[in-house]
């Protein structure tokens, strides 16, 4: 009995000692948050780059470009393709040892910027004005440009040319307004196919909101404008398409995404981004289609842009080298090379002409950037938007006004703070 007592004491003592050493060890790394940063390290440095790669082509292209920079600058670079960038970055940031340079998606950018994970190098970046203003806005948080956009995508309207001519439609019928879109979708709908397949999330439906002159927030994402009449008009328009059966969500067409329904010819039109090119080429090479700009809404043309930037970690010890690497990866030449090898659009305005010359079919995509809206640029908004997506999936049965009121309430709880 007594022995047990003294052993128990010993056990507690050793555990307590352990706890102290462990916390001390953890603290040693993390206490001095950000103060140990050197502006420029002397001599060659080692950079770690973490990318959310779309495949081998992208990994190889980025690795090669980084290696070229390393060679001329005398530094070393390791490029790692992430299996789950969110989780890998989260671990790195919590441990105080994040990669120096990494991809940041515009949809998650505000989360990273708001917790101070990103070094705001954008405002002092040479030629920053050469990058499209819409994309820069996506990486601006509290009036600071944090990082330089890597590339981007926009949404456009894809039309199956065979179904189009079969329905007796011609070049002149290409829709430029909502009414025309509805009319052609109706004409294209028959027992085998639906007129339009559209993804059931804010990343597609949001385009209608932009065309109606609305959006979830005001331009600098400081106030929520979800329950505006413009948004209601957009959601009601979508609801009318779905209710009439001339538009359907992919899952109603037994497809994982709208591009699949389009490729299987279950839909004659779809609204997707330039990534659909690769999917069509690989999975449905026989389907002929054309790409046109999204039809304009009551307040003019509108589309959504999706982009990623080259984030530089606040905790990186080699800011100067990291920014110099980003500069090398975002030159016009590098961006056109990336476009060639894995099909992304350059984020520099000066590269547009060369891009259109090389890929004339992608003109509607790249020109969309002039009137494109990026993802909602506010921290902690993801949960709210996921809820909005869930509500959109309830259309056409659901009440449009209730959906937007709910979005307004939930978003205000996050953005009003």
Partner 1 sequence: MSITVTSAERAAEPARRPARRGAGRGLRAPEGPAGWLFVSPMILVIGVFLVVPIFMALWVSFSDWNGQGSPFSASVNWVGTKNYANLITNPGLTQTDFMTSIRNNLYFVLIVVPLQTVLALILALILNAKRLKAKSFFRTAYYFPSVTSSVAISVVFLFLFSSSGAVNAGLNLVGVHGPNWFADPRGVFHIVLGGLGVNTDSPPSALTGHGVGGLSWWDWLSGPSVAMSAIIALVVWTTAGTFMLFFLAALQDIPVEVEEAAEVDGASAWQRFRNITLPLLRPTLFLVLTLGVIGTWQVFDQIYVMSQGAPGKTTLTPAYLSYDSSFTNFEWGQGSAIAFILFTLIVVLTLAQRRLLREKDGPSRRELRRRAKAAAKAPEPART
Interface ranges with partner 1 (CB under 8 A): 1-3, 5-7, 10-11, 14-15, 18-19, 22-23, 26-27, 29-31, 33, 86-87, 90, 93-94, 96, 108, 111, 114-117, 251, 254-255, 315, 379-380, 382-384, 386-387, 390, 393-394, 397, 410, 413
- Alpha carbons 198 and 204: distance in angstroms, whole number: 7
- Alpha carbons 224 and 382: distance in angstroms, whole number: 14
Q: Among residues 1 and 357, whose Cβ is nearest to partner 1?
A: 1
The distance of closest approach from Cβ of residue 229 to partner 1 in the complex, given in angstroms and rounded to an integer, is 24
Angle formed by the axes of helices 229-243 and 178-188, to 10°? 10
Task: State the pairing for strand pair 345-346/148-160.
Answer: antiparallel
Q: Which helix (H) or strand (E) holds 262?
A: helix 258-263
CB 96 within 8 A of CB 29: yes
The distance of closest approach from Cβ of residue 387 to partner 1 in the complex, given in angstroms and rounded to an integer, is 6
The position carrying tokens 């984030």 is 311
Q: Among residues 182 and 315, whose Cβ is nearest to partner 1?
A: 315
Q: Among residues 8 and 288, whose Cβ is nearest to partner 1?
A: 8
The distance of closest approach from Cβ of residue 222 to partner 1 in the complex, given in angstroms and rounded to an integer, is 19
Q: Among residues 364 and 379, whose Cβ is nearest to partner 1?
A: 379
Q: Among residues 312 and 339, whose Cβ is nearest to partner 1?
A: 312
Q: Among residues 64 and 389, whose Cβ is nearest to partner 1?
A: 389
The distance of closest approach from Cβ of residue 245 to partner 1 in the complex, given in angstroms and rounded to an integer, is 17
Q: Among residues 367 and 387, whose Cβ is nearest to partner 1?
A: 387
The distance of closest approach from Cβ of residue 96 to partner 1 in the complex, given in angstroms and rounded to an integer, is 5
- Alpha carbons 276 and 255: distance in angstroms, whole number: 14
The distance of closest approach from Cβ of residue 334 to partner 1 in the complex, given in angstroms and rounded to an integer, is 30
Q: Which residues of 220-259 are buried (b: 16+ CB within 10 A; e: fewer)?
A: ebeebbbbbebbbbbbbbbbebbeeebbbbbeebebebbb
- Alpha carbons 400 and 395: distance in angstroms, whole number: 8
Cα separations in angstroms, 86 against 40, 105, 112: 28, 10, 10
CB 137 within 8 A of CB 131: no
The distance of closest approach from Cβ of residue 315 to partner 1 in the complex, given in angstroms and rounded to an integer, is 8
């Amino acid at each position: 009995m007594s022995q047990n007592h003294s052993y128990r004491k010993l056990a507690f003592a050793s555990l307590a000692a352990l706890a102290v050493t462990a916390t001390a060890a953890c603290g040693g790394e993390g206490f001095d948050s950000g103060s140990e940063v050197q502006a420029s390290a002397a001599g060659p440095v080692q950079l770690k780059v973490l990318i959310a790669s779309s495949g081998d082509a992208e990994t190889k292209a980025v690795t090669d470009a980084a290696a070229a920079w390393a060679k001329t600058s005398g530094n070393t670079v390791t490029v790692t393709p992430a299996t789950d960038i969110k989780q890998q970055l989260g671990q790195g940031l919590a441990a105080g040892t994040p990669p120096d340079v990494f991809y940041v998606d515009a949809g998650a950018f505000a989360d990273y910027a708001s917790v101070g994970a990103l070094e705001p190098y954008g405002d002092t970046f040479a030629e920053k004005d050469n990058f499209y203003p819409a994309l820069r806005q996506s990486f601006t948080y509290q009036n600071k440009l944090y990082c330089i956009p890597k590339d981007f995508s926009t949404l456009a309207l894809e039309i199956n040319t065979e179904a189009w001519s079969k329905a007796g439609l011609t070049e002149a019928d290409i829709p430029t307004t909502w009414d025309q879109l509805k009319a052609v979708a109706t004409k294209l709908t028959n027992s085998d196919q639906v007129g339009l397949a559209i993804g059931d999330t804010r990343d597609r439906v949001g385009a209608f909101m932009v065309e109606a002159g609305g959006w979830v927030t005001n331009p600098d994402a400081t106030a929520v404008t979800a329950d505006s009449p413009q948004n209601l008009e957009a959601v009601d328009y979508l609801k009318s398409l779905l209710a009439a059966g001339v538009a359907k969500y992919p899952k109603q067409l037994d497809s994982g995404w709208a591009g699949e329904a389009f490729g299987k010819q279950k839909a004659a039109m779809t609204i997707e981004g330039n990534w659909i090119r690769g999917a069509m080429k690989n999975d449905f090479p026989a389907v002929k289609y054309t790409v046109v700009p999204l039809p304009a809404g009551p307040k003019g043309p509108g589309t959504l842009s999706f982009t990623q930037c080259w984030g530089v970690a606040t905790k990186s010890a080699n800011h100067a080298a990291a920014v110099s690497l980003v500069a090398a990866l975002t030159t016009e030449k590098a961006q056109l090379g990336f476009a060639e090898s894995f099909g992304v659009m350059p984020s520099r305005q000066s590269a547009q002409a060369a891009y259109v010359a090389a890929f004339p079919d992608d003109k509607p995509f790249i020109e969309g950037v002039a009137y494109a809206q990026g993802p909602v640029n506010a921290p902690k908004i993801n949960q709210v938007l996921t809820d909005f997506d869930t509500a959109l999936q309830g259309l056409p049965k659901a009440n449009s006004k209730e959906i937007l009121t709910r979005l307004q309430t939930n978003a205000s709880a996050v953005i009003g703070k």
